[in-house]
Amino acid sequence: MQKIDFNHYKTSQERTEAAKKNPDAPKLFIETFGCQMNFADSETVASVMIDNGFVLTDDYQTADVVFINTCSVRDNAELRIRNRLSIYRFIKKTKPGLIVGILGCMAERLKEQLLEQEKVVDIVAGPDSYRSLPQLVREARQGESAINVLLSREETYADISPIRLDKNRVSAYISITRGCDNMCAFCVVPFTRGRERSREPETIIREVHEIIAEGYKEIMLLGQNVDKYNWNEQVNFAQLLKMVAEVDSRVRIRFATSYPQDFTDEVLQEMANHKNICKYIHLPVQHGSNRMLDKMHRGYNRQWYLDRIAAIRRIIPDCGISTDLIAGYCTETEEDHLQTLSLMEEVKFDYSFMFFYSERPKTYAARNYPDDVPDEVKKRRLNEIIELQNRISLESNHRDMNKTFEVLVEGESKKSPDRFSGRNSQNKTVVFPRRNAKIGDIVEVVITECTSATLLGHIVSDKDIISKIN
């Protein structure tokens, strides 16, 4: 790839500040719910809108336009968004010109229903229609029905340089794939994000250079299934990972999410070969029972998953591993549930994202299986999973006592401004006194205490502040 000329490139900060110079620019507030893909999409939306004369605001009460980027993975996520809409309904009574738009997965799933049921909503835009948002705003201002939920087989937004919304300028996202073809029985994503497609690698590397030029210290490659990345049968995910890692060895590289059936030893070898690729893998298993995995249409069985875990332990012995787990899936028996608990004991995940089953409309499970596990049983089984994971996580963190890790400083600790928080290569949160470190530094931290969720320690010495953003 040719060297990129940044003489005329404007950073996110420069573009944002330039937009503010127009006193008549309409103000846009973006609120994001859900996964990291949604946060990356919001940065694309911000870029589209700034290039069309808008300016970003952090205060929704001063906004002329509000976009809520939504999630539909679980019913609880949609309930939170409906609660937010009640706030904007109240604001509209005193500010009738306010335009409210629902973006993303909930928009794609409910479509016109949002305009009809939620009288506060003026715009409905699916994940593949963000280029049309300026036109949709114009239509909404004229009192027209403003909706675009067409899914695309080609759209990747590869030519758009996102407006980075992380004010600390530490971590940045790059979407390398969009959509999903796996069609798991419980999952609504294929219906809300469309078919799988990969971005041209040159556009990804261009964005990597842009991010580094803006001073970021970590890059997260995103996709519903990054392992399926494949550009014209010429570049697979392992090869892309190598290309990204070799742009600048000082910049950390992470990725999510992986899929057990597609996760290869080739990816593991690239992780082992490059120090700046973080030693952490999120590998959702969803369940420990083969019967449940088959009923979920996951495409692998328990032994296949355990073989992938064994490969990770063999090639990257110090790798952090997390997963997703669902309790109370359709027809789940007590024996099925015990199989999940036994899998957790065998793998010993560093941490997990744990939920009870929430039926999503249009999915194969909703159309074909009764949601027949009582809520009280779902909740009891979920609590048992959480209790076991907390114990395993505490044991994992205890094993890190007295070890020293390189930690990227991401910001102040939530509990004390006198402490910083960051993550090590294994994606564990580390909290420590600030000393002379700054946000964006990489510091050496020795671990002296821990909880099930956090490692606690202190910087070894001031000389161990390894690097800074600038």
Looking at the fold, whether 223 and 103 belong to one and the same domain comes out as no
Domain of residue 423, CATH code: 2.40.50.140
Q: Are residues 259 and 392 in the same domain?
A: yes
Residue 440 sits at the vertex; the CA angle it makes with 174 and 32, to the nearest 5 degrees, is: 45
Of 347, 364, 396, the residue at which a domain comes to its end is: 396
Alpha carbon separation from 80 to 28, 64, 71, 417, 461 (Å, rounded): 21, 22, 10, 29, 44
Tokens for 184, please give them.
Answer: 């798991």
pLDDT at 50: 97
| 160 within domain boundaries | no
Query: In percent, how much of the chain has pLDDT > 90?
Result: 90
Q: Are residues 410 and 391 in the same domain?
A: no
pLDDT at 467: 54
Q: What is the dihedral of CA 266, 268, 274, 277, to 10 degrees?
A: 120
Nearest-CA neighbor of 117 among 129, 109, 105, 127?
A: 109
Note the pLDDT of residue 466: 59
What is the CATH classification number for the domain harbouring 286?
A: 3.80.30.20
Q: Classify 282 as helix, strand or coil.
A: strand
Task: Provide the b/e sequence for 50-60 (b: ≥16 CB within 10 Å).
Answer: beeebbbbeeb
Asked, for residue 303, whether it belongs to a domain, the answer is: yes
Last residue of a domain, one of 373, 396, 419: 396
Q: Which residues fall within 8 angstroms of residue 353, CB to CB, at 6 or more apart?
A: 322, 323, 324, 325
Residue 117's pLDDT band, with cuts at 50, 70 and 90, is confident
pLDDT of the residue at 464 = 57
Q: What was the pLDDT predicted at 468?
A: 47
User: Within a domain: residue 283?
Assistant: yes
Residue 116 scores a pLDDT above 80: yes
Whether 7 shows a pLDDT value over 70: the answer reads: no
Residue 234 counted as domain residue = yes
User: Are residue 183 and residue 288 in the same domain, yes or no?
Assistant: yes
Question: 346-358 pLDDT, tens per residue?
Answer: 999 999 999 999 9
- Among 13-22, 314-323, 370-379, the range scoring the smallest mean pLDDT is 13-22
Do 187 and 119 fall into the same domain? no
| Residue 69 belongs to some domain of the structure | yes
* pLDDT single digits (tens) 429-455: 999 999 999 999 999 999 999 999 999
Question: What integer best gives the mean pLDDT of the chain?
Answer: 94
Calculated CA dihedral for residues 194, 85, 134, 61, nearest 10 degrees: -140
**Does 27 fall in a domain?**
yes
Looking at the fold, whether 137 and 216 belong to one and the same domain comes out as: no
Quick one: DSSP state of residue 2? Answer: P
pLDDT (tens digit, 9 = 90+) per residue, 176-215? 999 999 999 999 999 999 999 999 999 999 999 999 999 9
pLDDT at 308: 98
pLDDT score at 119: 86
- State how far the Cα of 286 lies from the Cα of 162, in Å rounded to an integer: 32
| CA 137 centroid distance within chain | 27
For the whole model, what pTM was predicted?
A: 0.94
Considering the domain boundaries, does residue 3 fall inside one? no
Q: Which amino acid is at 405?
A: F
Is position 108 within any domain?
Answer: yes
The continuous run of DSSP H or E covering 235 comes out as: strand 235-236
Instruction: Give the Cα separation of 311 and 106 in Å (integer).
Output: 37
Answer for the pair 390, 450: CB distance below 8 angstroms, yes or no. no
Over residues 9-31, the mean pLDDT reads 90
Query: Are 133 and 36 in the same domain?
Result: yes
As a whole number of angstroms, the distance between CA 184 and CA 317 comes to 30
Average pLDDT for 402-410: 98
Do 77 and 222 share a domain, yes or no? no
Give the pLDDT score at 245: 98
| Assigned token pair, 134 | 């300026």
pLDDT for 470 beyond 60:
no
At residue 1, the pLDDT reads 40
One domain, residues 37 and 118:
yes
Span 271-292, mean pLDDT? 98
Do 325 and 296 fall within a single domain? yes
What's the domain count of the chain?
3
Last residue of a domain, which of 396, 424, 448?
Answer: 396
Show the domain range for 460. 404-467
Assess whether 425 and 329 both reside in one domain: no
For range 70-78, the mean pLDDT: 88
Q: Are residues 387 and 411 in the same domain?
A: no
For range 326-339, the mean pLDDT = 98
Say how far apart CA 124 and CA 146 lie, in whole Å: 6
CATH code of 129's domain: 3.40.50.280
